[in-house]
Amino acid sequence: MDLDRHDFELDDLVERIKANDNRLVALQVPEGLKMQALEMMDSIEDESDATVILAADPCYGACDLVHDKMRMMGVELVAHMGHSQMNIDSGMPTHFIPVTYDGDPELAVALPLLESHRAIAQSRLESVGEEVDIDEEAAKDRFLDAVGRVAPLTGARLGLVGSIQHLHLLEEFKSRLEVAGFDVEIPVGGDRLTFPGQVLGCNYSGDDPSIGHYMFLGSGDFHPIGLVLHTGKPLTMLDPYSGDATEMSLERIERILRQRFGLINSVVEAQTFGILIGEKPGQMRRNLAIRMKRLLEKHGRKGYLLALDHISPDLIDFYPVDAYVNTACPRIAIDDSVRYAKPLITPYELEVALGEKKWETGYQFDEIP
């Protein structure tokens, strides 16, 4: 990561520490910035009277705010870097530190992909009104179809989204795309999202049927996989770090759907389940977990509620259950299930396995609202 081109915006934090006369502050930084954490601690301690404790456990999102354990240590303020505020209350005063990257990639390299994706979206507009009565085999085929499983579109607009470090580019890119002839929307999502055009690995709530395809400004495939799994819409990725344009291949999404299909089938006869509850403030879905337990009971199965902060194979593989249902971060089941010794599925996938949800409604991404 080119750190010289990132703005860490520590000044507002130092001002707040001074204004509140905070003496003990916890700093929480994303994994990619941990190497620079000690330098940041020096800088905060040099410029204020506060002592800084690094919250050194892994941190992958604003869902993972440090909370009561830091209060027990006497921490007065949590400084959380690189993620934006969510609709959760950790119980601790928290200062969010934005991190922005100044890279501004060329749009031209992305235009051929965007044009081909717009053509796919327009062809989906024309398919409105196709038959809905289908047999079991056709329903399963629809489940496995990256595009055909989702509802017909009402428009073929381009949805412009990005990860948090690059959101400041969106308005400028909207103008550039409009000059290039695209009808562009920067989608506004629900309460879990702070900014227009923002996406999280567990929330794509800005999607709407008038958006036919997407462009993502960011790096890596974590957000793109979730977006296409959730929407079934073609996605161009423009990476501000490398300047490269690529697409999220529908074959890759179909491979994931086949894996999910296999996991659902593998638990149809399972009798005992561990139901995982995440202890992180923004991942805690206790009511959903209890609803899954009741659902299992209704079908004559057994569910055990297991609460964990970090979820990993060595912490759960040994329990004598047949499978696990994950209600913590949805991406644990989607991205990491091969690491676990037993099937690890989402709540929606359990409902399909128990016959409560139908294949023909198409795969439903496990979104945290």
Distance CA 75, CA 50 (A): 10
The token pair that represents 248 in the structure block: 């999220």
For residues 157 and 285, which CB has a smaller minimum distance to ligand SF4 in the complex? 285
Q: Cβ closer to ligand SF4: 202 or 248?
A: 202
Q: Of 12-20, 56-64, 110-118, 268-276, which segment contacts ligand SF4 by CB under 6 A?
A: 56-64
Q: State which of positions 239-278 bind ligand SF4 (CB under 6 A).
A: none
Adjacent-strand bridge partners of 215:
160, 236
Q: Which residues contact 182 (CB under 8 A, 6 or more apart)?
A: 114, 118, 158
Token digits of residue 100? 């922005």
Q: Using the rule CB under 6 A, which residue among 200, 263, 267, 321 binds ligand SF4?
A: 200
CB 235 within 8 A of CB 257: no
d(CA 331, CA 285): 14
Query: Is the CB of 227 or the CB of 238 nearer to ligand SF4?
Result: 227
- x-marked contacts with ligand SF4 along 5-34 as a string, rule CB under 6 A: ------------------------------
Site for ligand SF4 (CB under 6 A): how many residues?
11
Residue (of 79, 80, 41) closest to 60 by Cα position: 80
Q: Enumerate residues 303-342 that contact ligand SF4 by CB under 6 A.
A: 329, 331
Considering only the stretches 49-57, 67-75, 166-174, 196-204, report the one whose residues sit in contact with ligand SF4 under the rule CB under 6 A. 196-204
Query: Which of 48, 283, 326, 364 forms a contact with ligand SF4 (CB under 6 A)?
Result: 283
Q: For 139-234, list the strands marked E by DSSP.
A: 157-162, 184-185, 211-217
Cβ 316 to ligand SF4, closest distance in Å? 17
Q: What's the token pair of residue 168?
A: 């400041």
| CA angle in degrees (0–180, nearest 5) for 2-9-329 | 75
Q: How far is the CB of 86 from ligand SF4 (least distance, A)?
A: 7
Which residues have CB under 8 Å from 326's CB, separation 6+? 276, 311, 332, 333, 344, 345, 346
The one among 17, 53, 61, 324 contacting ligand SF4 by CB under 6 A: 61
* Residue of 26, 33, 40, 63 interacting with ligand SF4 (CB under 6 A): 63
- Please, which residue, 224 or 282, has the CB nearer to ligand SF4? 282
Q: How far is the CB of 238 from ligand SF4 (least distance, A)?
A: 21
Could you tell me which stretch among 35-43, 144-152, 194-202, 355-363 binds ligand SF4 (CB under 6 A)? Answer: 194-202
Q: Does 212 bind ligand SF4 (CB under 6 A)?
A: no
Is 201 a binding residue for ligand SF4 by CB under 6 A? The answer is yes
CA dihedral 295, 299, 302, 303 (to 10 degrees): -20
Torsion of CA 48, 57, 336, 352, to 10 degrees: -90
CA atoms of 251 and 324, how far apart (whole Å): 27
Which parts of this chain interact with ligand SF4 (CB under 6 A)? 60-61, 63, 200-202, 282-283, 329, 331, 368
